Amino acid sequence: MKQEQRKSWFGHFLYSTRRKLILIVTLILSLLCFGTFLGVNQIMKQDRYETLTKQYYYVNRQMISAFEKISEELDQLTEKYILNEYVQKTLTNQEITASDLEMMKKSLAFYNRSYLDYYLVIDNKENLYSQRKVTLDFEKFRKSQIYKGFGDHYSKTVLMWTRDVIFGTNEMSFFVVRHIRSLNVNHEPGMLILKLNENLLDPVKDSITDDQLSYFILNENQEVCFSRMPGGARWNPEEAGNREILQNVISRQDGVTENTDWSNGIVSWDHEENSCFTVVTYASKEVTDAVISKIQGMMLAVFFITYGVAVVGIILFSSWFTKPIQYISETMRSFDEHSMGNRIDLNTNTELDEIGRAYNKMVVRVKELMEDVKQKEGELRESELASLMYQIRPHFLYNTLDTIYMLARIQKEETIMRMIQSLSRFLRINLSNGNEQIETAKELEHVSSYLEIQKIRNADLFEYETHMDESVASWRVIKMILQPVAENCIKYGFCDIEEGGRILISAGREGDFLVFTVENNGTPIEAEQMEKLNRLESAPLGEMDEILPYRQGGYGIRNVVKRLRLRYGDRVRFYYRALESGTVCAIKIPVKGEGGDGNE
Amino acid sequence: MAMNKGKRAKILAMGGLFFCCGCSHSPEPELIPQTETEVVIPVTFRVEPLTNQSDNEQFVKDFNQEFAGEYRMEPNWLIESTSGYRNKLKQWNVLDQLPVLITDAGFDYDFYRVLAENDRLVDLKPWMEASDFWLDAMNPDILAGCTEPDGRVYLSPLGNNVHTYAGIIYREDLLASAGYEEFPQTWEEFWDCLDALKQDGITPLALHGSGSYWVPMLLATAYIYGDAEGKEFLDKRLPDSYQNEEMRELMEFLRRLYGYTFPDALELDYDQTAARLIDGQAALIANGRWMFETIGEENYEKYRFAPFPGGILMNSPQMSAWAVTSGYSDEVTEGAVRALEFRIRCAQDTKDVSDGSALMDSYIAATEMDYRVMPNFQLQWEQEIQNEFFTEYMPGFLAGEIQTDEFLKMMDERVEEIQSKK
């Protein structure tokens, strides 16, 4: 039963056009998405290194660009110091007066910047000029990285990250150094040293847009002078992973842009040409994978949006398309003899309208055919009956039976007299001058005549009784519906007895029904046979012959049920019930009103 | 270092292009498309603020035409006075930003020493010797004046003197109105002429009051160069003392000159004075051939050129010398040297400078006379004396607040100080 339900649901599911479309679209899009997903994933895996390194190269270039701006800014700042009138004056042997020193301080104070901590001007006679008190051991100074930074450049601005051995902090700091050359006369150059703070790197920090990456700036000795880690973590050079990151850079520095991909992520670096600083960008494995996941997520999102749009589209489109089909389908499914008046009313401007019109024509045609068939059947029956009547020639038959009755009376043959009398009554009611319907009382008289004849024939095999509610005596009913039932009582009910049989026939009223019962005390009807007979009242008319084939002797009963259903419709009841000793058959015929013609 | 210079060359070249686009200067950008193989030569040429023109514009066009596909000169057109440009040169040097090709490389002896002694310039001697005409085109005296004691040659002046003489440039019509058809040939006639002009309501002299007092000093040095002692003094480089009779005469001459110029002359710089001359507010000025561009070709018929009284011309080829700075890539350096060589060739081709104008004809006539050539005092005397001492004390002297002996004594003291600084 469950399997049947599943089949039915699946059949219904497949039967729906909308669902079929959704199923197809789902399959196509899923295949497409799956294929694209796999393809893109494959391609991305292949191109991941190239793509990401390009991206990180761009990030590095941004930082380098910011660094170049810093270099330009420092170039311009140191220009001011070098061209300062008083600074130039320190290069000559001219005496620097206290007033000059004051003016120098004041004018150099104008060059203050947020990233500038201190300046130091050392003239070519090793005099020091600074806003701080600075004492310098020149022997040590000449060995320092700061002094070496001047190199043999004529007047190049050099930025460096080194230890502060001048201003007393002894901390690693940014310094910018530049020779101070005389504008007019050939002198030994002086030296300009500016100590800078971390504000110097503000442009570099501002150029950082991706917080998921790690950024480093290394000086030429591969010392980290700037770091920024994801989530604000602090750079710890002692950590093993961290050492590995920079080792990748340090071991492969060759002055050009490089990238390396290893199991822990991608390291990308670039050199700032003027300052020899190296900008390093590190993307951990998690970050590089996140990029792929993000793209895949985007793909899935696009797929689901596309799928959603497609499904909504299908629903909207199919509802416009399938609603009329469902309407046609339901109308056709509910088609029977009671819904002949139903019509399909469609106005979709599609071929469906044509189907609706064709259906309507078909219904009209079917109704016409059914009425035609019914009329022809009636006419045929009446014609057959008239033919029989003509063959029988009832008056001749009745006169002959009367003559026989008179001869039997003369010879005092009472049994023959009863038999002739019953036969004559049986035939008279049987023919009824060709009428299809007779009064209920006549129907009881007809079956009584039949039983009287059978009683004489079967030598006291059974007795019979009839009872009738007088109120239904005049109700008209189709004739010969009790005789086949009574015949079966004798034929099957009393097949196992020689005498003592009893048949009780009654006619009465139950509500809106005229009720006949035929009961016998013979062998109870077999269950299988009773089930077949009881199905006759509800089985399709066309299938009745299959339930009770003619060869199995059910013709009489089947004929009775068929005539009753054709005449009175499906409210007619006809059923058998096995009793403890015997069988009862009930026939219930619906009536419209009291007093005659109760079934029309 | 070479790479940095190369990068800077590109930046300067681009800056020059930007400058050309952004300013109202008349030189048109050249239409010769640059090819990938061309070597860009970054140069900075001065544009005369008064005329908004540069006398090197044609040179750039000719060079780029001649060397198309090989070299391309990308000039940064700098609208600046001569003195302004020279100050820029000094700044570029201390900032290590000199363009590969510089003009006026020898205008200031001290500055030239700075360049020469710090290997800031390229030795041109090997290139000259390798050229099939360069050395031949050089006047031996001029070449000798540009050769270092060790034989190196850093300056590339034009090969001949024809373009570098200085004398008197005067308004012919104004002198004519004062009764002078020709420029006076003696100093006595000179003073008479000035008086006549003054009487005629014309300001005779265009003088100025700042810097090295170039115009008045040209006249004054020409005045003392007329006698043997004066010539001996001026021919001496970096004299130890200025307290002599020749300088006393020079100072008195100066003081007298300022009686014939604008009342506010001491407040003017050279460029303002030149502008007044061109406006017709003065009758004459002392200057060289290079001022003709400032005057403008449209005015060539109004002006005449004459030697200083006494038949004296000043010639200083080093003043017009160009040089190639060091630190650029070999390709750029070679291109710059080729530009110098090309300049000499062009000067050879245009040795006859006459264009038929009255000014040019008078210039040619003056250089063909029997004249004496005096040296440029700017190259003979300490720069600090000219640039600082004169600016500081000359106004006081001319106003009579400082006496001649006192002035010369202070001058000597400054010389001593300068020499001690060195």
* Residue A492 shares a structural domain with residue A574: yes
Mutate to test the interface with B, among A90, A150, A153, A182 (most CBs of B within 10 A): A182
Winning range, highest mean pLDDT, from A231-235, A538-542, B307-311: B307-311
* Residue A462 shares a structural domain with residue A578: yes
* Residue A371 shares a structural domain with residue A509: no
- Please report how the helices B404-421 and B390-398 are oriented relative to each other, as an axis angle in degrees rounded to 10: 180
CB proximity A82 to B under 8 Å? yes
In whole angstroms, what is the distance from residue B215 CA to residue B83 CA?
13
Alpha-carbon B207 to chain mean position:
17
pLDDT attached to residue B30: 41
Q: How many CA atoms lie within 13 A of B298 on its CB side?
A: 3
Token digits of residue B329: 């890539």
> How far from A520 is each of A156, A462, A464, CA to CA, in Å?
136, 10, 9
Residue A509 confidence (pLDDT) above 70: yes
Is residue A250 domain-resident? yes
* Residue A352 shares a structural domain with residue A479: no
Report which residue type is found at A211: D
CB proximity A68 to B under 8 Å? no
Q: Identify the residue whose tokens are 């008179």.
A: A406
- pLDDT digit string, tens, across residues A461-489: 999 999 999 999 999 999 889 999 999 99
How far B66 CA lies from chain A's nearest CA (Å)?
34
Task: With CB atoms and an 8 Å threshold, state whether B94 touches A183.
Answer: yes
Q: For B181-198, what is the HEC assignment?
A: CCCCCCHHHHHHHHHHHH
Closest by CA to B405, choosing from B214, B241, B265, B258, is: B241
In chain B, domain spans: 2-159+318-349, 165-315+356-421
Q: Identify the residue whose tokens are 């809106």.
A: A512
In whole angstroms, what is the distance from residue A232 CA to residue A202 CA?
16
pLDDT attached to residue A257: 44
Exposure string of A396-432, with b = 16+ CB inside 10 Å and e = fewer, is eeeeebeebbeebeeeeeeebbbbbbbbbbbbbbbbb
> How far from A54 is each of A60, A259, A267, A297, CA to CA, in Å?
10, 9, 12, 22
* Residue A276 shares a structural domain with residue A342: no
pLDDT attached to residue A490: 92
| pLDDT by position in tens, chain B (length 422) | 333 434 433 333 333 333 333 333 334 434 444 456 789 998 999 888 877 878 788 889 999 999 999 999 999 999 988 878 888 999 999 999 999 999 888 878 888 889 999 999 999 999 999 988 888 888 787 788 788 889 999 998 876 667 788 999 999 999 999 999 999 999 999 999 999 999 999 999 999 987 779 999 999 999 999 999 999 999 888 898 999 999 999 999 999 999 999 999 999 988 889 999 999 999 999 998 888 878 888 889 999 999 999 999 998 777 778 999 999 999 999 999 999 999 888 876 655 556 678 998 999 888 888 788 898 888 888 888 887 889 889 999 999 999 999 999 999 999 988 887 66
- Residues A185 and B110 sit within 8 Å (Cβ to Cβ): yes
Please spell the DSSP secondary structure of A436-453, one letter per residue.
SEEEHHHHHHHHHHHHHH
Span A296-304, mean pLDDT? Answer: 84
CA angle A205, A211, A217 (to 5 degrees): 45
- Residues A586 and A573 sit within 8 Å (Cβ to Cβ): yes
> How far from A469 is each of A444, A483, A559, A564, B76, CA to CA, in Å?
11, 19, 26, 21, 136
pLDDT attached to residue A179: 94
In whole angstroms, what is the distance from residue A416 CA to residue A518 CA?
27
Task: With CB atoms and an 8 Å threshold, state whether B94 touches A186.
Answer: no
> How far from A302 is each of A29, A298, A306, CA to CA, in Å?
11, 6, 6
* Domain B2-159+318-349 shares a fold with domain B165-315+356-421: yes
Residues of chain B in contact with residue A82, where contact means CB-CB under 8 angstroms, are 94-95
In whole angstroms, what is the distance from residue A575 CA to residue A586 CA?
6
Count of residues for chain B?
422
Pick the residue from chain A with its C-alpha nearest to B113.
A186
- Residues A71 and A274 sit within 8 Å (Cβ to Cβ): yes
How far A305 CA lies from chain B's nearest CA (Å)?
51
3-state secondary structure of A229: coil
Is residue A262 domain-resident? yes
3-state secondary structure of A592: coil
Look at domain B165-315+356-421 and name its CATH class. alpha beta
Q: Is A282 left (phi over 0), alpha (psi -120 to 50) or beta?
A: beta
Span A73-92, mean pLDDT? Answer: 90
Is residue A422 domain-resident? no
Where is pLDDT greater, at A50 or A334? A334
Q: Number of A to B CB contacts under 8 A, please give it.
A: 65
* Residue A479 shares a structural domain with residue A567: yes
* Residue A441 shares a structural domain with residue A579: yes
How far A31 CA lies from chain B's nearest CA (Å)?
52
Look at domain B2-159+318-349 and name its CATH class. alpha beta
* Residue A370 shares a structural domain with residue A514: no
Residue B138 DSSP class: S
Task: With CB atoms and an 8 Å threshold, state whether A186 touches B91.
Answer: no
Residues of chain A in contact with residue B384, where contact means CB-CB under 8 angstroms, are 184-185
For B34-173, strand residue ranges (E) read: 39-47, 71-79, 101-102, 165-171
In whole angstroms, what is the distance from residue B222 CA to residue B216 CA?
10
Residue that finishes a domain, picked among A269, A287, A305: A287
pLDDT attached to residue B241: 92
Q: Identify the residue whose tokens are 């059910």.
A: A554
Residue B157 DSSP class: -
Q: Which domain holds residue A274?
A: 203-287
Task: With CB atoms and an 8 Å threshold, state whether A180 touches B110.
Answer: no
* Residue A452 shares a structural domain with residue A562: yes
Query: Judging by DSSP bridges, how do beta strands B284-288 and A462-468 pair with one another?
Result: unpaired
* Residue A351 shares a structural domain with residue A488: no
How far A247 CA lies from chain B's nearest CA (Å)?
28
Closest by CA to B286, choosing from B219, B224, B222, B186, is: B219
Single pTM value for the model: 0.58
Task: With CB atoms and an 8 Å threshold, state whether A83 touches B1.
Answer: no
Sequence-separated (6 or more) residues with CB below 8 Å from residue A358:
none
In whole angstroms, what is the distance from residue B409 CA to residue A33 CA?
98
Task: With CB atoms and an 8 Å threshold, state whether B120 touches A154.
Answer: yes
Sequence-separated (6 or more) residues with CB below 8 Å from residue B185:
B309, B310, B311
ipTM score: 0.73
Closest by CA to B76, choosing from B31, B111, B29, is: B29
Is residue A509 domain-resident? yes
Query: H or E segment at A27?
Result: helix A17-83
Where is pLDDT greater, at A238 or A342? A342
3-state secondary structure of B40: strand
Is residue A122 domain-resident? no
Residue B372 DSSP class: E
* Residue A441 shares a structural domain with residue A521: yes
Sequence-separated (6 or more) residues with CB below 8 Å from residue A143:
none
Please spell the DSSP secondary structure of A108-160, one letter per residue.
HHTT--TTEEEEEEE-TT--EEESS-----HHHHTTSHHHHHHTT-SS--EEE
Q: Which of B90, B96, B417 sits opposite A155 (nearest CB)?
A: B96
Closest by CA to A318, choosing from A96, A17, A536, A599, is: A17
Residue B38 DSSP class: P
Residue that finishes a domain, picked among A246, A264, A287: A287
Span A119-130, mean pLDDT? Answer: 90
Give phi and psi for A195, each to the nearest 5.
-95, 130
Q: For A338-400, what is the HEC assignment?
A: HHCCCCCCCCCCCHHHHHHHHHHHHHHHHHHHHHHHHHHHHHHHHHHHHHHHHHHCHHHHHHH
Is residue A428 domain-resident? no
Q: Is A76 left (phi over 0), alpha (psi -120 to 50) or beta?
A: alpha
pLDDT attached to residue A370: 85
Count of domains for chain A: 3
In whole angstroms, what is the distance from residue A406 CA to residue B328 CA?
163
Residue A442: exposed, middle, or buried by beta-carbon count in 10 A (0-12, 13-18, 19+)? buried
How far A215 CA lies from chain B's nearest CA (Å)?
27
In whole angstroms, what is the distance from residue A269 CA to residue A120 CA?
33
Give phi and psi for A173, each to the nearest 5.
-145, 165
How far B274 CA lies from chain A's nearest CA (Å)?
26
CB proximity A89 to B under 8 Å? no
* Residue A348 shares a structural domain with residue A276: no
- pLDDT digit string, tens, across residues A167-226: 888 889 999 999 999 888 888 899 999 999 989 988 888 888 888 888 888 888 878 888
Exposure string of A280-297, with b = 16+ CB inside 10 Å and e = fewer, is bbbbbeebbeebbeeeee
pLDDT attached to residue A388: 61
In whole angstroms, what is the distance from residue A435 CA to residue A95 CA?
159
Split at pLDDT 50, 70, 90, the class of A46 is low
Pick the residue from chain B with its C-alpha nearest to A90.
B421
Residue that finishes a domain, picked among A217, A252, A287: A287
Count of residues for chain A?
600
Please spell the DSSP secondary structure of A504-538, one letter per residue.
EEEEEEETTEEEEEEEE-SSPPPHHHHHHHHHTTT
Residue A11 confidence (pLDDT) above 70: no
Task: With CB atoms and an 8 Å threshold, state whether A156 touches B417.
Answer: no
B170 forms beta bridges with B284, B304
Pick the residue from chain B with its C-alpha nearest to A80.
B95
